A and B are shown apart, each in its own frame.
Chain A
């Protein structure tokens, strides 16, 4: 197979890159940055693309040295075998290049020295970051197995040159100037003026906080840091759409977009009155405690225009959760029942919780709620003593900030937990996740990352929910059974 193009490419004329964890003690950060710059410069000499080094989490290509499990589902394996990996162009983790910190990296040593030249591997990995796949040409830079592919000649192997030029086109000649003197603009790295980000906690491996281009559903890395919107080529509508969507996900309800429902509260219940003011780009919620009302108008989300925080069968009844509300759907009802507040059915949840992350009923008929880094075990409607407990009690890594979904999979009736790009199989008997996990969510082909919920319905099928829509899953093929259904409301909320 000759060179392979992976379909994605960088649209922005200048691609930024950043060495994320410069505190790498073994290697000299300055030398590493020089080598990264040379490796990118080699591609820039042969294609119409330019690079600029920045030192911030806004970079398109974030370069990281990490070892073993480092949060992307593709663990490194210590010295030897896997040296590095990189992701094809895209938002989120797209474009990033990760190098195995357990390798013996050579920065300046001569070719025959013992170890792995960082330059050779970096050129290869940046080929992926630009959109190239592996080539079976043994002399090509994109050949999967490590070899000295480039020895300082003034050109790269033909297979790589044709590959990169078929994505970005050849390097444009600058007329009217002496072309010999003109070197690709990548060689002029302008040190960025953006202030260096605060020193990162060295207590645990640092994960780059990547941005997203406003795709409404991208939310969190597995360790829970939210994406921030970055200067992107997306149109402002998309971005405002993203901000608006982002807010709907996290803000308390506003009267404008939701029905108002009067819910009577028992007089002893001290209601908190929430006022929400939304300025241009931010939502501030001020909470004031007022004297108890005999009743108050409480607003629940518009069930026909919302994503779900969780949807599951409990005692074979369908429960749908959003923010502080739950709908108890009865199959025989023609109409949707009125929602009520979660803490009026499940006693023992924290009084100030905004929303639950997910919930499921296990094979011991216990009802397990996940909120943030804790989980709550309910025996029917009552919290069992000794709960909540931290997620680490289940064998999950401390870097996990929340569980997106908990599923008893229809294929094998085993429990799976999903968070960000990763998932675990959970052993209900040992009450811990199984050893050979986490794995990357790409195993569940077509579902993508950062899902909202998943459950097995009475029809014995498995459904995944993300944003306002859902997929039915084909267990045997391990892929989605049909295209994304844009509206869950009709099927699940009887809208």
Chain B
């Protein structure tokens, strides 16, 4: 099926697993699935790609196209993009803040 083969060739640099790891690493996908092994819906994946494209100033297609792949391979900061990501903050302060609220 040429369409299927063509789509697959787009990701020749990077397989879908790398894309998922990238999206988890920078806060676009829940990381906990790594441990729980919960499966993801295609909508969840497409939404994550759209968020990344929006943050990076690309057209929001929801699929990992050439521009999105290029963005994923650009040098960047290792901190996650998701503003709610608590990864880079001492988490007991988070609890303190929550208990205060």
Binding site for B on A (CB under 8 A): 1, 4, 6-8, 74, 76, 80-88, 90-94, 116, 121, 124-125, 128, 133-134, 136, 138, 144-146, 215, 217-218, 411-412, 425, 439-443, 445-449, 475-479, 483-484
* Inter-chain pairs besides A92-B90, A411-B36, A442-B86, 8 sampled, C-beta below 8 Å: A87-B88, A116-B75, A128-B88, A133-B81, A145-B75, A215-B92, A441-B91, A443-B31
Across the interface, do A83 and B90 meet the contact criterion of CB distance under 8 Å?
A: no
* B side interface size, CB within 8 A: 37
For B88, what are the chain A residues with a Cβ–Cβ distance below 8 Å? Answer: 6, 85-88, 128
- Known: A7-B97, A478-B32. Is A88-B26 also a contact (CB below 8 A)? no
Please tell me which one of the listed residues B31, B36, B99 contacts residue A483 in the complex, with CB atoms under 8 A apart. B99
Across the interface, do B36 and A476 meet the contact criterion of CB distance under 8 Å?
A: yes
In B24-41, the 8 Å CB interface with A consists of: 26, 30-32, 34-38
Binding site for A on B (CB under 8 A): 26, 30-32, 34-38, 54-57, 71, 73-81, 83, 86-95, 97-99
The main secondary structure of chain A at its interface with chain B is loop
Report the nearest B residue to A77, measured CB to CB.
B78
Across the interface, do A445 and B93 meet the contact criterion of CB distance under 8 Å?
A: no
Interchain CA distance A125-B88 in the complex, whole Å:
12
The main secondary structure of chain B at its interface with chain A is loop
Across the interface, do A8 and B81 meet the contact criterion of CB distance under 8 Å?
A: no
- Known: A76-B78, A446-B91. Is A133-B37 also a contact (CB below 8 A)? no
- Known: A4-B83, A133-B83, A448-B95. Is A145-B90 also a contact (CB below 8 A)? no
For A74, what are the chain B residues with a Cβ–Cβ distance below 8 Å? Answer: 78, 87
Interchain CA distance A116-B88 in the complex, whole Å:
23
Across the interface, do A475 and B89 meet the contact criterion of CB distance under 8 Å?
A: no
Please tell me which one of the listed residues B31, B54, B76, B89 contacts residue A88 in the complex, with CB atoms under 8 A apart. B89
CB distance from A333 to the nearest CB of B (A): 33
Across the interface, do B89 and A7 meet the contact criterion of CB distance under 8 Å?
A: yes
CB distance from B14 to the nearest CB of A (A): 12
Across the interface, do A85 and B91 meet the contact criterion of CB distance under 8 Å?
A: no
CB distance from A468 to the nearest CB of B (A): 14
Interchain CA distance A87-B87 in the complex, whole Å:
9
Across the interface, do A134 and B74 meet the contact criterion of CB distance under 8 Å?
A: no
Across the interface, do A87 and B35 meet the contact criterion of CB distance under 8 Å?
A: no
For B76, what are the chain A residues with a Cβ–Cβ distance below 8 Å? Answer: 81-83, 144-146
For B98, what are the chain A residues with a Cβ–Cβ distance below 8 Å? Answer: 483
Interchain CA distance A93-B88 in the complex, whole Å:
9
Report the nearest A residue to B30, measured CB to CB.
A478
For A136, what are the chain B residues with a Cβ–Cβ distance below 8 Å? Answer: 54-57
Interface-central residue, B34, B38, B54, B78, by most chain A CB under 10 Å: B78
Interface-central residue, B54, B91, B94, by most chain A CB under 10 Å: B91
CB distance from A211 to the nearest CB of B (A): 12
Interface-central residue, A84, A92, A134, by most chain B CB under 10 Å: A134
Across the interface, do B90 and A144 meet the contact criterion of CB distance under 8 Å?
A: no
Interchain CA distance A169-B99 in the complex, whole Å:
26
For B73, what are the chain A residues with a Cβ–Cβ distance below 8 Å? Answer: 80-81
Report the nearest B residue to A125, measured CB to CB.
B77
Across the interface, do B83 and A442 meet the contact criterion of CB distance under 8 Å?
A: no
CB distance from A69 to the nearest CB of B (A): 13
Interchain CA distance A6-B73 in the complex, whole Å:
26
For A446, what are the chain B residues with a Cβ–Cβ distance below 8 Å? Answer: 91, 94-95
For B99, what are the chain A residues with a Cβ–Cβ distance below 8 Å? Answer: 483-484
Interchain CA distance A71-B93 in the complex, whole Å:
20
- Known: A217-B92, A447-B91, A448-B95. Is A134-B35 also a contact (CB below 8 A)? no
Interchain CA distance A258-B96 in the complex, whole Å:
29
Across the interface, do B38 and A476 meet the contact criterion of CB distance under 8 Å?
A: yes
For A425, what are the chain B residues with a Cβ–Cβ distance below 8 Å? Answer: 35
